[in-house]
Chain A
């Protein structure tokens, strides 16, 4: 906790007073708006223009609210003119600039935007849970009778957890690892109700049950690491709902979870809201999730609200160019034929150009009945094993893309590691370019390394922070003693050019680049040795949707140019649909269904494939709108 904490409160209290002054004015506007609301039957949206004319917010009239039950008369939460900035060494960075936002009881309001849009900062500013260097510069946060922006820290503590619950982003790190799950839920009750230690413990079990955790009594006595990600998120939902809050702020509550789990969790959250009349502020980068869940949509970009209104209206007729851009690049909404047609065509030409003389029949990689077992820590009764990969076979042709799709723990990454010989198969064989490499060692394994490369999921972790971008890209060349200093540098320039990065980034450090740029560097590094195969392990999962689209396009282009084959690992069918020629769906170590991408998406045969497809958020709701936008 910062040295700035106390001074910040003192220093900005003046600003708050001023804000309170203007608030009265704002209220006036709202009362009038409320009048219109009654008159026209359902226009509760603010006439935003009068308020922040320069914001360029596309406010709407004609709200056909899809909320359930009786229509609420006043918003639960009213944010007006909220501005938050971060004090950094380089100066003050404005993260949120004049945001207006309403949340209504019993409804889901989604805030959508890419990383850096200020959506998460906005959500955290409501209960002033900002990082130490975050400063609430201006604005009002009306919640019930209070303006949360002006409350003292002790007053805020009475609101946090009791009246406003927070469901955090990453369930794997958001529970205290050294405390039992039940204890962590009971803490809320102990803080805000008159519960005793014993009664809180009993009630915590009931709350966990309400949050949808099976065997709640058992789970309550367990530690977070003994629970799966989905179960942990339910425990965190229990923490959020324990004291019966009026508002739940859910900050990317399912981004770290598998799609099928995501669906169940969101269903549950929504049901809780509908039953108890709780308002939900759902922060998400996924327009599909927002489309499925929210009655109202707020689109944010660069700290401002660029568009707000009923979800259906915003999606059907987006006013702001940014919203249109976001809609167009959202993978779950893209029509299946957009990029893939281009990819298939170019890849086909690459095929004929590349493999026609060599004979198109020979596949580049062939996996036969691969099995990988891991020994588990035994519990006394002999060693147990986990079959992570169970009898997996596939072939991957030159210049083609095979996607291994599955949820976490399905064995897709382990399969890729077996192909790359980063792990040894328990049984089965791997053929690379016709030769058996299952047991290749020494020089042959090294040759395999030269011809097959890897692009990792997280570009923030896969680039050495002490290397310059140039050093990162030429490292494979140095490792294989290809060329001299000058030719390597030329090659690095050429590679960066290929991945559409300017040569000026050569001297920069990875930390100075954005996520998308870093992943381009990682791709350039993978291509440095002109490999035949690149394994892409969730290459776009850590990136924003619009950046995802660019990187996928780049991968397709590079394949067309160089004839490289991709083994593409992803949990996201929507992404796979845009890039893969063939798809193999994995579950619990086995391939449950495989075939050409078009067929698999059009006519899924296995129940699990159908379940995965159905779990893609936003698919049904939006496809007509998306089609009109993209065409």
Chain B
């Protein structure tokens, strides 16, 4: 077991490095650099001294060869230092740390909503014996996946803020302001959870052990929740692990639509300004969250399915 965890941690480090490097290469490939971008903005308003630009470029190291830049950035990143934002001059780490709580609130509540709504929908759709109700419930997830997030957000704002005036349309003030953005973010996420869980519940309910349970005299509800659900939860759990990455990406759109402060807004601003240190920091942070969640998911598998202990042990022994 310990060998398995060590192996997985090594893999996680590899993923982080790869994400950081790919992000660096992509940003490097893009034309221009943050200083030129800023200077470009300045040039419209008035004079910018070319010598000043050169000095700035030198200060941030943009005049050095790519490989040198990369090793410098990576060396500092490993120590937790992502440098200073080109746009604001603040350290990247504190910029991210300031934005993080808002985004964590948003994504965590969105994930919770998604699991509850998606899971509930899947259980209801597989449990009901009314054909029309099942068809209706099963038609919701594909709809939820296919409508764009910003559109869902606008629709919710239109009805619940402007018409009903139940929730504020934008801002970060208190839990009431969280409801609509979290719901918006939860729609595509929950829809995917519902799709996967419903499918694996149908598969599980077709298995022979379900018949054994029925032959014991167990009621439908018991068969559904005690026997089928636990067996069906594994694929859904895998999806949840993958969706955490999607939630972070989704927060960019949702925070923009609802004018919320947070990591998503920071990311959007940094990309517009070609603020390379900040973007690099966001990418590394996102990868870290993603890798951690999936490691946790993998460690939870054996708790849900005892057969997986054997596989993990087997892989661990091969290390």
Contact = CB atoms under 8 A, between A and B. Distances in A.
B215 A165 contact: yes
Contact of A236 (B132, B212, B220, B304): B212
Contacts of A239: 212, 216
Interface string A168-192: 1110011111110000100110011
B128 interface: yes
Contacts of B215: 127, 129, 160-161, 165-166, 168, 240
Nearest to A175: B209
A127 B214 CA distance: 10
Given A3-B128, A177-B305, A129 B208 contact: no
Nearest to A240: B215
Interface residues of A, number: 42
B35 interface: no
A178 B225 CA distance: 13
Interface stretch (B9-17, B277-285, B306-314): B306-314
A184 B306 CA distance: 15
Interface string B187-226: 0000000000000000001011101111111111000100
B230 interface: yes
B212 A178 contact: no
A2 B313 CA distance: 40
B306 A223 contact: yes
A4 interface: yes
Contacts of B231: 176-178
Given A1-B127, A3-B129, A225-B306, A168 B208 contact: yes
Contact of B313 (A154, A184, A225, A377): A377
A170 B131 CA distance: 31
Interface string A375-386: 001111001000
Contact of B208 (A1, A3, A170, A184): A170
Contacts of A165: 215
A192 B220 CA distance: 16
A110 to B, nearest CB: 20
Contacts of A169: 208
Nearest to B126: A1
Contacts of B127: 1
B217 A176 contact: no
Interface in A225-251: 225, 236, 239-240
A184 B208 CA distance: 14
A553 B213 CA distance: 42
B235 to A, nearest CB: 14
Given A1-B129, A3-B134, A168-B208, A223 B217 contact: no
Nearest to A174: B208
Contact of B209 (A5, A177, A191): A177
Contacts, number: 102
B66 to A, nearest CB: 45
Interface string A192-236: 100000000000000000000000000000010100000000001
B72 interface: no
B317 interface: yes
B7 to A, nearest CB: 14
B227 interface: yes
A339 to B, nearest CB: 35
A174 B206 CA distance: 11
B130 interface: yes
B131 to A, nearest CB: 3
A162 interface: yes
A158 interface: yes
Contact of B304 (A158, A178, A188): A178
A588 interface: no
Interface in B205-259: 205, 207-209, 211-220, 224, 227, 230-231
B236 to A, nearest CB: 14
A160 B217 contact: yes
Contact of B218 (A170, A191, A223): A191
Interface in A140-169: 154, 157-162, 165-166, 168-169
Interface residues of B, number: 35
Nearest to B311: A377
A165 B208 CA distance: 15
A6 interface: yes
Nearest to B306: A223
B307 A225 contact: yes
A169 B215 CA distance: 13
A192 B214 contact: no
Contacts of B209: 173-177
Contacts of A187: 213, 216, 218
Interface string A305-326: 0000000000000000000000
Nearest to A225: B307
A4 B313 contact: no
A174 B212 contact: yes
Contacts of B230: 178
A195 to B, nearest CB: 13
Which residue of B214, B310, B313, B314 has the most chain A CB atoms within 10 A of its CB atom?
Answer: B214
Contacts of A240: 215
Which residue of B207, B217, B218, B227 has the most chain A CB atoms within 10 A of its CB atom?
Answer: B217
Contacts of A159: 217
A5 B130 CA distance: 8
B216 A188 contact: yes
Interface in B177-191: none
B218 A157 contact: yes
Contacts of B305: 177-178
Contacts of B220: 1
Nearest to B210: A176
B212 A377 contact: no
A171 to B, nearest CB: 9
Contacts of A380: 317
Nearest to A177: B307
A160 B307 contact: no
A368 to B, nearest CB: 32
Interface in B265-319: 304-307, 310, 313-314, 317
Contact of B130 (A3, A157, A378): A3
A157 B212 contact: no
A176 B225 CA distance: 13
Which residue of B134, B212, B304 has the most chain A CB atoms within 10 A of its CB atom?
Answer: B212
B36 to A, nearest CB: 56
A131 B306 CA distance: 28
A576 B310 CA distance: 37
Contacts of B133: 3
B211 A174 contact: yes
Contacts of A161: 215-218
Interface in A372-401: 377-380, 383
Contacts of A175: 209, 212
Interface in A113-146: 127, 129
B314 A166 contact: no
Interface string B97-126: 000000000000000000000000000001
A191 B216 contact: yes
A236 B205 CA distance: 19
Contact of B317 (A129, A160, A166, A377): A377
Contacts of B212: 166, 168, 174-176, 184, 236, 239
Interface string A350-379: 000000000000000000000000000111
Contacts of A129: 211, 214-215
18 contacts: A1-B205, A1-B220, A2-B131, A3-B129, A3-B134, A4-B131, A6-B129, A168-B215, A173-B209, A174-B212, A176-B231, A177-B306, A178-B230, A178-B304, A179-B227, A191-B218, A223-B307, A236-B212
Given A154-B219, A166-B212, 17 more contacts: A1-B127, A1-B224, A3-B130, A129-B215, A161-B216, A161-B217, A173-B209, A176-B209, A176-B212, A176-B213, A176-B231, A179-B227, A187-B213, A225-B310, A236-B212, A240-B215, A383-B317
Q: What 10 A-B pairs come out closest when comparing CB atoms?
A: A3-B131, A161-B217, A377-B314, A166-B215, A161-B216, A160-B217, A5-B129, A223-B306, A173-B208, A174-B208
